[in-house]
Structure 1
Amino acid sequence: MNRTYLIASLLAALVLVCVPLVVSDPYIRHLFIIAFIFAVVASNWDLTLGYCGLFNFGHLTFFGVGTYTAAILAKTAGVTPWLAIPLGGLAAALVGLIIALPVARLKGIYVVLVTFAFSQLALQLVLSQSQITGGAEGMVRLPYLSIGEYKFIRDFKLGYYYVGLGLLVISTVALLLIARSPYGKALRAVRDNEDYATARGISVARQRITVLVASAVLTGVAGGFYAIYLRVAAPEVFSFGTLSLVLSMVLIGGAGSIIGPVFAALALTFGTEALAGVRGMEDARFILIALAMILVLRLAPGGVIDLLSRLRRAH
């Protein structure tokens, strides 16, 4: 990331910190929280797709595993939500390892098929174990976050806002450090030319396994926070609609940029919600997102971040 985008990102973070000071509407805060969660999921997906070139279509599995792990631990096992949320990330990392092992040496469409099959397997497991997961109806009335006598459900979403923002900041900083590290360079080498990477002593299989596990951790934590915040765990977290929305954030923002999917998540969350309020656009909004994704990929395959970079260099 160059200095311009670093400064822009820091200013954006400062603005987000100050938003609750001027926005008291709980619904607007709710949209920000949802955007923060999806920004974490999208940017972590970008680590495998954009940096390693691994077409992993099972990334939402990690999000769903984190969601249901936190829900089951918090409601059924009585674990405090503060502990259930990070344990969702641990469970997602374990699932990431299970998924990574069979795809470590696969290529192309086979990676897509296997990872997508795992997501459908997770969905069927949730639906079949209704005595634990609630089946198609999901789990409701999950415990909420609190600190002593301070209950997060009574502060007009202020507490959840800052927890979500904190999670996004931690995730983004961690991903940027990974991207700039020697490990990140090895991931890009695998993405650009596997044969060259192998000749340089880089294990393609090892990079794929570690990147899937690494991308699963904070995605699972985001899933756990999602469940505790909404107090609901439903099978929709594994749906194709959720997958396509998050994938559009990655591609429109810019695969291989980390920051791009974060800004795209904020823009698409508020954009789709604004369109939902327009009569006749409730369903058409998803068509518009698809068209936007096609246009961005046609004009700037690197996403909006790449387009902005080219415009800046032109001036």
Structure 2
Amino acid sequence: MKAALIEAPGRVVLATVPDPAPGPREVVVGVAATGLCGTDLHILQGGFAPALPVTPGHEFAGEIVAVGREVIGLAVDDRVAVDPSPRCHECRSGRGNLCERRQAIGVTAPAGAAEFAVAPAASCLRLPEHVDVADAVLIEPLSCAIRGYDVLSDSTLGAEVLIYGSGTMGLMMLELAKPTGAASVDVLDVNPSRLATAAELGCSRSAARADDLDKPDGWDFVIDATGNSQAPTATSSTTSAPPPSRPIRSSTTSTASARCTPAARPPWSTAPRPRSWPPHAPQRPNPHSRLTLLSGRCEAPTTPAPSTCSDNCASSRTS
């Protein structure tokens, strides 16, 4: 079969490799679609993968073409999406940080950037008829975004949220903010066309810099969906520029201070905030917020909070 192989940092080739065979509790998936994730790019740049070569593409879906002799509940021709993390006892108990295996399809084992891929049967999710197999590729990154809000629990009810990055993950976090009860969701990005997409999906305001949103009290939560640790710094100026006197309509040609117009704001963006919000929390170095959520782990700083501050949540997708 044909497969993409990352042979060395910065080098990827299309190679012919042996067709895979399933183990007793594994299946072989005929890959129909594969997503390209930031983790794949990190592996190409020389990070994450413990050894090369490796076939990347941990976001994939397709049809089962072979099953192991001990597999139950799945059959040939079943359409499935694949969880790239083999499930151990700790993972099934919700303690992924204590994983006994520390392995992942596409990082330590060949994945979906090939015609066929092997996966544990327990990692395969059978797709309902109404879900297109190409759309199912997004189940894995969507689960990462949902996990971020799971960690925040009910704290987003009535909260004001700022999202850095309007790519796939940022837009998913924007969409998920609505059912979790956020009062408003602002989006930052340096790409005007991405800001236009965020406006179409109903963000409250959009801009290239946090300072352009004229919010000196900050936000309750700040979500970093850029995949770039320098992005929050780059999109926040050290000096405060005066905000525009009126909203600027967002478009593909707009610049740093583009915003969604009031007409584009959905009803949930103007919901009243509970009197008890925001709660006191320790102060983070980020000037816009005070609680940090990174990769599903909540990091509690030790510095006391001032009387007026706002929460910071930076949720990055690593998949």
TM-score where L is the length of structure 1: 0.24
| More helix, by proportion | 1
